[in-house]
Amino acid sequence: MPSIAAQPYDYGFPSGKLALVVIDMQRDFIEEGGFGSVLGNDVRPLKAIVPTVARLIAGFRAASLPVIHTREGHKSDLSDCPPAKRARGGGALTIGDAGPMGRILVDGEPGNDILPELAPLPDETVIVKPGKGAFYATPLGDILQGLGIGHLVFAGVTTEVCVQTTMREANDRGYECLLAEDATQSYFPAFKTATLAMIRAQGGIVGWTAPSDAVLAALR
């Protein structure tokens, strides 16, 4: 069985049965003028991981392993956005409002697009999720089951919110999860550090973490 040098110990996976899940690498979170920057966040740390995420995607494609992309996005009528979610933050703009890149976090708007540098291939799955976790109200579980996948590598943003939520959802469903440490980021560096520690605590209570180079070396 192939394995990845990881923490808290090596991560083994069945040959050919590993998928990459790239969480929410979309313009609204990563580009200047998007929702993240409108909220007052420095988006530069998130932008900095784009080349690393691109290398991971290329590695999985070269190994003929599935790459699954997610976008956090809502229907244009916001019928899938709970009022409590829309009311959060107290900022000048919120979900559904018109921002510099179109209506914020609305499926089909320019800001909701995945970054061009990380664009999915036509045959790759894109999950549009109304929540922070990628399993809630989406077909992700059925898709993975259909592929016979039980082991997942995660990348994307933000570490402590959508990435961690999805990993915890996956963990509860029996998936073995690894987070690529340098292919994820938060607007708050301390939150990323804490999340990595929480994931691999107590013998990997949620999963494993490893640098992208270790993941790519195992794929090769």
Tokens of 211: 């640098």
Spatial distance between the Cα atoms of 88 and 48, rounded to a whole number of angstroms: 27
Any idea what DSSP says for residue 67?
Answer: E
Which bin fits 52, alpha (ψ -120 to 50), beta or left (φ > 0)? alpha
Spatial distance between the Cα atoms of 130 and 76, rounded to a whole number of angstroms: 12
Q: DSSP letter string over 114-148?
A: BPGGGPPPTTSEEEEESSSSSSTTSSHHHHHHHHT
Q: Is the peptide bond before 52 cis (omega within 30 degrees of 0)?
A: no
Q: Looking at the annotation, which residues are catalytic? A: 24, 129, 162
